[in-house]
Amino acid sequence: MQAVREKWTDECLDDLNQRVSDGFARVDQDIRDLRTEMSSGFAAMDARFDSLYKLLLRATGATIAVFVTTGVALVATQL
């Protein structure tokens, strides 16, 4: 473990300032990369939900058509 400095020189403070700035720059870049990755992931998820929605609409339409056809057939056979 390093000993506690009694005196900070301008050079040491400049070095510390640069290291802190570099660290924040890396964090900022990581956050930007994460946002880009999440945006593309959400776009893919939206596309999947859209296709699921279309599939459910088609299945519902087919089910309604079957019920209507069955109802018409039942009424026609009772006449």
pLDDT digits (tens, 9 = 90+) for 20-68: 999 999 999 999 999 999 999 999 999 999 999 999 999 999 999 999 9
The verdict on pTM exceeding 0.75 is no
pLDDT at 26: 97
Q: Which two tokens stand for residue 28?
A: 């900022």
Query: Which pLDDT band, with edges at 50, 70 and 90, does 79 fall under?
Result: confident
15 has a pLDDT exceeding 90: yes
Which of residues 79 and 30 earns the better pLDDT score?
Answer: 30
- Distance CA(53)–CA(57), nearest Å, equals 6
